[in-house]
Amino acid sequence: MNEELKFLSRQAALGAITRRKFLGRAGALGLSAAAANTMLAGAVHAEGPQKGGTLRIGLQGGSTTDSLDPATAANTTAVNLIRMWGEPLVELTDDGGLQGKVAESFEASADATTWTFTIRKGITFSNGQEVTAADAAAMLDRHAGEESKSGALGLLRDIKNVSTNGRDVIIELNNGNADLPYLMSDYHLIVQPNGGKDAPDAAIGTGPYIMKEVDMGVRFVAEKNPNYWGDLGHAETIEMLVINDNTARVAALQSGQVDIIDRVPPRTAGLVARAPGITVASTAGPGHYVFIAHVNTAPFDNPDLMMALKYGINRQEMVDKILFGYGSVGNDSPINAAYPMYSEMEQREYDPDKAAEYFKKSGHEGPVLLRTSDNSFPGAPDAAALFQQSLKAAGIDLEIKREPNDGYWSEVWNNKPFCTSYWGGRSTQDQMFTTAYLSTADWNDTRYKSESFDKLLIAARAELDQDKRKAMYADMGMMVRNESGLICPMFNDFVDAYTDKIGGWVEGVAGFSLMNGYAAQRMWVTG
Amino acid sequence: MSLLLKLLAQRIALGLLLLFLVSILIFAGTIILPGDVAQQILGQSATPEALANLRRDLGLNDPPLQRYFSWLGGLLQGDLGTSLTSGKDIAESISKRLGNTLFLAFWAAIISVPLAILLGLIAVRYRERWPDKLISAVTLASISVPEFLIAYVAIFFVSVRLRWAPSVTTINDSMSLGEKLHTISLPIAVLTLVVLAHMMRMTRAAILNVMQSAYIETAELKGLRMFTIIWKHAFPNSIAPVVNVVMLNLAYLVVGVVVIEVVFTYPGMGQFLVDHVSKRDIPVVQACGLIFAAVYIGLNMVADIVSIVANPRLRHPK
């Protein structure tokens, strides 16, 4: 490569010349704008993190009614906020493994029924208090106790006893669970002084930032925690704005009022990416959009009708027209390559002839009623209409009933026999299956009840031989694909966007959007 | 004057009765809505135990009637209660939002009301000529286009292309007045466009109505300048309907701008209310509803009083 170009890109990365000037000079030297942009991004990365400055982030999902209490956190704004001031015991690595946070290490007994987490030595909360094992134990007690209002309560049911020994927190389980550390990475389970029992919403934790201004659903300002133990946090100040309107969020990025946003609408992502100085980053994740039927309710208790519906959906068309390519096709299983122990299954394709055949065999007559709403997933009513068209080719009549957004999650989802919905996914197969496909799960939204599936799930949980475990999960995925009421046409990517005023984006980070919610801490202001 | 006082007392008593009825309506409305606050707070992650625990903590297990009367009791002692979702004092959190809403409404009114009346006067002065037609065409066009569309177009050109004014108008206490005004310049402009037509058309129509009168002809024959006639003789006699429309639009600027707040990310009462309705946070919804109703009733009362004061025939009924 041209030495002059290299020099210029370094200068631009260091802020010695402006980006615009660099692009102009690069153009004069015969480099296309796209190539110049890529080169600049590379140079910015190579220069390494720069300290200081203010990083501004625009987020969707916050509401005035939110609380700083991590137990009731339920939207992406809350997750990003928690990442500022608090930390769980362990956290996902970029490729979906585990790393210690408040706990520096963890180990299991041979049968995975007893787990020991060792608290990192010498770290303090932002109020100066030292973190002890008792704080972590109290945290588990608060979230799993009988009085709990925590969103993580469902995950922690299997805990029999929590005790401490020096810096160790010892968790005893009723049944072995090889995935327990993954559960501990849940964003609700933040280590707070005395577990947050005294002041759940005080935002005192061990995180890289300290909250300075809090205006729920509007604006937050956080400043670097000078005593943070780790290497996160490059910007001196982080300003978070809640911008719920999609167009307003994109406009804020384009007009330079924020440096990074989440949830770029797939419909306009292509246009946004064309703007100079803006990069749209799409990250594959475990989230999926679904059509769910209760298999214990007529007519969906008829396996042939379910098969007809599963063969009657055009998955690729949904990915193209609903996700605009920002996603991948589903295979009627909630598991995709984002999971650590995924094994590939034969792809189920759209086959109107087969669908018609199964439909005839089912003996069902008349239309099938599907309920949908705008907030069940972005573009759900359009997806329902596509489904209607693809079923029509198989001679199946799908009737669509549009439900109001308000009250959809309490009245329709997990309540009515056939509707559209979404899942954000979980970090392990065990969590995903336990949350939604175990017979006794509260959110078994397909009413899939299979004894052999349950047994396999419990057995896999305590299985420490990875190969055996992987085979078990493959079997379970197949069972859900063929027997449950899940029709999963697509996995949606997280689509975020950032300007060239900040550097340090890492592609393909496992977990939630915005680099699992750590973008603000891991990225830096380049000037 | 005693007549005026009596009228005022009557209006205020009636207003309070209306507020009471409004509070019953709002309460009933939020009870009818599907799902309760506990379900809405926990959302998709609600387990039966967590729901039960939260309901007990929030006192949702009490019968609705009891909850309504304990709220009313608190209100009569000047206590709006605490929010179910955030546990914060309602009066405190509302006052900040209400302050923001009034701030935006005030500046939008300061610009739009004089501008509308001035344009109305100009339209009458040049009736049926090009300035009248231009003013009517522009204001009618701006009121006919949905406000969010005007807002998006303004954002695209003014914020994204020209970068003159911000599209995210989140103001905060650390800003100076000048910074605040610059921050909210776009929503002020859009709101002005939205309310201008109504007030301007009413000014024009009301004055034209008076312009037919014999005393206007007299003034013309005296040789007064046309604008002086309109301003000094016609306008004072047509003030009642104009004030009525102005007050309606002021009320709109306070209670009806939720779309503008969302598009410009402005932290006002509208977004605050929507958030709490969707979470079924009844005490907050009640408080917001009462404030909105009070604004409407109050401004209408002002309009009535101004029209009585401005009209000698109403001041001294036979």
Q: Which of A410, A414, A432, A444 to mutate to test the interface with B (most CBs of B within 10 A)?
A: A410
Mean pLDDT for the stretch of residues A258-280: 92
Q: What's the pLDDT score for residue A31?
A: 59
A98 compared with B8, residue with greater pLDDT: A98
> CA of A121 to nearest chain B CA: how many angstroms apart?
34
The more confident residue out of B11 and B190 is B190
Q: Which of A244, A256, A410 sits opposite B262 (nearest CB)?
A: A244
Which A residues in the span 61-90 are in contact with B, Cβ-Cβ below 8 Å? 63-67, 72, 74
pLDDT tens profile A461-475: 988 888 999 999 999
Give the SS3 label for residue A116. strand
Asked if B155 and A256 come within 8 Å (Cβ–Cβ), the reply is: no
pLDDT at A3 exceeding the cut of 80:
no
The alpha carbon of residue A41 is apart from the nearest alpha carbon of chain B, in Å, by 23
| Chain A touched by B258 (CB under 8 Å) | no
What is residue A1's predicted lDDT score, i.e. its pLDDT?
43
* A432 neighbourhood in chain B, CB within 8 Å: none
pLDDT of B192 above 80? yes
Q: Do A248 and B41 touch (CB under 8 A)?
A: no
Angle in degrees, 0-180, between the axes of helices A451-462 and A429-436, rounded to the nearest 10: 150
pLDDT at B202 over 50: yes
Q: pLDDT tens for residues A430-443?
A: 989 988 999 988 78
User: CA-CA distance, B19 to A157, in Å (whole number)?
Assistant: 48
pLDDT computed for residue A5 by the predictor: 57
Q: How many CB atoms lie under 10 A from the CB of residue A524?
A: 21
**Residue A299, preceding peptide bond in cis (omega within 30° of 0):** yes
A65–B83: do the CB atoms touch at under 8 Å?
Answer: yes
Number of other CB atoms surrounding residue B95 within 10 Å: 12
Burial level of A405, CB count in 10 A (0-12/13-18/19+)? exposed
Identify the pLDDT of residue B79: 81
User: Which residues of B fall within a CB distance of 8 Å from A74?
Assistant: 41-45
Structure tokens at B175: 């800003």
What pLDDT, on the 0 to 100 scale, is given for residue A4? Answer: 60
If we measure between CA atoms, which residue out of A338, A250, A246 comes closest to residue A287?
A: A338
**Burial (0-12, 13-18, 19+ Cβ within 10 Å), A223:** middle
* DSSP label of B82: B
User: Is B267 near chain A, with CB under 8 Å?
Assistant: yes
Place of tokens 């896999």: A460
The rounded mean pLDDT for chain A is: 89
Q: What is the pLDDT of residues A363-408, one digit of tens each?
A: 999 999 999 998 889 899 999 999 999 999 999 999 999 998 877 8
Helix or strand holding residue A34 (H, E)? helix A33-46
CB-nearest partner of B265 from A66, A151, A248: A248
Closest CA–CA distance from residue B281 to any residue of chain A (Å) = 8
The 8-class DSSP code of residue B60 comes to T
The residue extents of the domains of chain B are: 1-81+281-318, 107-278
Nearest CB to A241 within list B39, B54, B170: B170
Determine the average pLDDT of the residues in B218-228. Answer: 89
Instruction: Express each pLDDT in A150-187 by its tens digit.
Output: 777 777 888 999 999 999 999 999 988 989 999 999 99
Query: How is chain B split among helix, strand and coil, in percent rounded to 5?
Result: 80, 0, 20
Q: What's the pTM?
A: 0.84
Residue range B107-278 in CATH 1.10.3720 = yes
Residues 172-211 of B with CB under 8 A from A: 172
Give contacts of A 430-449 with B, CB under 8 A: 442-443
pLDDT tens track for B121-170: 999 989 889 999 999 999 989 889 999 999 999 999 999 999 999 999 99
A344 C-beta neighbours (distance < 10 Å), count: 10
Q: Are A78 and B86 in contact (CB under 8 A)?
A: no
Best mutation target, A69, A218, A260, A274, to test chain B (most B CBs within 10 A): A218
Q: Which long-range contacts (CB under 8 A, 24 or more apart) does A97-103 make?
A: A97/A340, A98/A181, A98/A182, A98/A185, A101/A206, A101/A230, A102/A131, A102/A136, A102/A191, A102/A206, A103/A136, A103/A169, A103/A184
Percent of chain B with pLDDT over 90: 38
In this prediction, residue A17 carries a pLDDT of: 58
**Strands A219-224 and A209-215, bridge-based pairing:** antiparallel
Question: A139: which 2 tokens?
Answer: 């945290």
Asked if B32 is an interface residue toward chain A (Cβ–Cβ < 8 A), one would say no
Please count the residue pairs, one from chain A and one from chain B, whose beta carbons lie less than 8 angstroms apart. 128
| Chain B hits for A257, Cβ within 8 Å | 159, 166-168
User: For B264, which of A248, A256, A413 is closest by C-beta distance?
Assistant: A248
CB contact under 8 A, A442 and B48: yes
User: Do the chains contact at A148 and B53, CB–CB below 8 Å?
Assistant: yes
Q: Which residues of B touch A248 (CB under 8 A)?
A: 155, 167-168, 262-265
Query: What would the 3-class secondary structure string for A323-353 be?
Result: CCCCEEECCCCCCCCCCCCCCCCCCCCCCHH
Confidence of residue B71 (pLDDT cuts 50, 70, 90): confident
Distance CA B263, CA A32 (A): 36
* A55 strand-pairing partners: A238
d(CA B109, CA B196): 10
